[in-house]
Amino acid sequence: MNITQNTKGENLISIKISVEKADYQENVEKTLKQMRQRANVPGFRPGMVPMGMIKKMYGASAKMEAMNTLVSDNLNKYIVDNKLNLIGYPMSDLDNQTPNDLEKQDDMDFYFEAALRPEINVDYTNTMVDFYHIIPEEEDIQRAIDDLMERNPDATHPETVGENDRLELKVREAEDGKEVEDGFQKDGLFIHMDQIKDKETREMFIGKEVGAEFIINFAKAFDSEEAVEKMLGKEAPVDSDYNIIIDDAIRDEKPELNEDFFEKIFPKQEVKDLDTFKAKVKGEMEKQFEAETDPILFNKMIDELVAAVKFDLPDAFMKRWIVENSQGKVSTEEVEKNYEADYVKGIRWQLIEDSIVTANPELIFTEEELKNFVLRQIFPGIDYASLEDDMKTNLDKIAANYLKDGKQNEQLKNQLADIKMTQFLKSKMNINFAETNYKDFMKKLEEERQPKINSK
């Protein structure tokens, strides 16, 4: 067997594999012997069919199987041994390949066309992207503070029950106004007044002092036997009356803007006054705006690099490759028509991205980075390093289970790769940031998208 390589054009080569009978005959004989053992031919016992008959029946297919395996294995070996950095995978070279006759030919030639990845040099200094840095306005900051106050209320413990309180109850099964001896009991039951659907029962609670004791019917109060079962447990009689004792009333009240509240929102950050608190809120909002707009900036940086980094593509090969890789989902005519609009940018960016990652291996994330990324998605703000070992072990199991889903795993890897690439490009490319507020940013974004919508 002999393998040769010739240049066909810019970044395009042809690989010729010349095969002789001696290269594959041993495998053909081996395959035919296996087929003889399995053959079920009337008049012959298993394994006793004459080899001549086996060759007539299966000789061509055995030869094709041996030939395909031989050619495929040696083509892959040639690519690895010669360190050929290819786009996609080789395809039959239609310009050179002639039909082979498996029955009459012993020696055959196979031609493959392959596209070499171009040499790509990314000059970040030769780029410029216009974008925006969103600065929250005073009213935005105040809305954020109001939201923080609403989501972080002060819990007070009033002496009497109000309309929107949470209650801690003792529950005892009752009959005829008295507790049932050895009946169902439950301590530490927490309910919210909003859960009580029956108006009469709600009025029984409102104004009662902590420590009050009275009879209610939970099925009536919650207007749902399913809700009672979920709350008390399956072992509890659903239709029974219950004697309840109000152990505690918890009321959420608007907190004061003081050091206690500042510490709750920004723990261990020494926020002592309102101005410092507002500045911290503003900074967090700017970070959030940045995280939300980074994907938009990333796409703009991709557009800029695709336009700025020059290299030739073997377009005819790429069109064929797209059709073959689609497994029948797109036709040659469709690719020819939409090649520039739908495919070129993606191909060029993939090649540029690969060259950037190759030159900057720190962009390749580790399994540890992926795990930490997953945990940040599930538990935002978690400080993994400060946790006890048993808690780390539990979180590691959660992350591992989360990544078992193949599709989800791939999506998370792509997200993390994009985030790392975004931060890298932001540190390398020239970006002209103009300050704006959120409303104006959304307006500008809509204006930028408008021509694309109208052009469809």
Q: According to CATH, what is the number of the domain 2-116? A: 3.30.70.1050
pLDDT at 448: 84
The pair of three-digit structure tokens given for residue 111, joined into one six-digit string: 């031609």
User: Tokens 């392959």 identify what position?
Assistant: 114
The total of other beta-carbon atoms located within 10 Å of residue 253's CB is 10
Phi-psi region of 88 (alpha: psi -120 to 50; beta: other; left: phi over 0): left
pLDDT at 456: 41
Q: Indicate the domain borders of the chain.
A: 2-116, 154-253
pLDDT at 443: 93
DSSP string, 347-386: HHHHHHHHHHHHH-GGGS--HHHHHHHHHHHHSTT--GGG
The total of other beta-carbon atoms located within 10 Å of residue 108's CB is 19
Assess whether the region 2-116 and the region 154-253 belong to the same CATH fold.
Answer: no
pLDDT at 451: 58
DSSP assigned state of 343: I
Q: Does residue 195 sit in helix, strand or coil?
A: helix
pLDDT at 435: 95
Cα dihedral 384→390→394→399 (10° resolution)? 40
Residue 393 to residue 395: CA distance in whole angstroms = 5
Cα dihedral 204→207→210→215 (10° resolution)? -10
pLDDT at 455: 44
Element (DSSP H or E) covering residue 71: helix 51-81
Residue 356 to residue 417: CA distance in whole angstroms = 12
> Counting beta carbons within 10 angstroms of the beta carbon of residue 397, is it exposed (0 to 12), middle (13 to 18) or buried (19 or more)?
exposed
Residue-by-residue pLDDT tens, the chain, 456 positions: 899 999 998 899 999 999 999 998 898 888 888 888 877 778 787 778 788 887 888 778 888 888 899 999 999 999 999 999 999 899 999 999 998 888 788 899 999 999 999 999 999 999 999 999 999 999 999 999 999 999 999 999 999 999 999 999 999 999 999 999 999 999 999 999 999 999 999 999 999 999 999 999 999 999 888 889 999 998 999 889 999 999 999 999 999 999 999 999 998 899 999 999 999 999 999 999 999 999 999 999 999 999 999 999 999 999 999 999 998 899 999 999 999 999 999 999 999 999 999 999 999 999 999 998 999 888 887 778 778 888 888 888 998 888 888 888 999 999 999 999 999 999 999 999 999 999 999 999 988 877 554 444
The total of other beta-carbon atoms located within 10 Å of residue 1's CB is 13
Q: According to CATH, what is the number of the domain 154-253? A: 3.10.50.40
Beta pairing partners, 4:
16
> Counting beta carbons within 10 angstroms of the beta carbon of residue 239, is it exposed (0 to 12), middle (13 to 18) or buried (19 or more)?
exposed
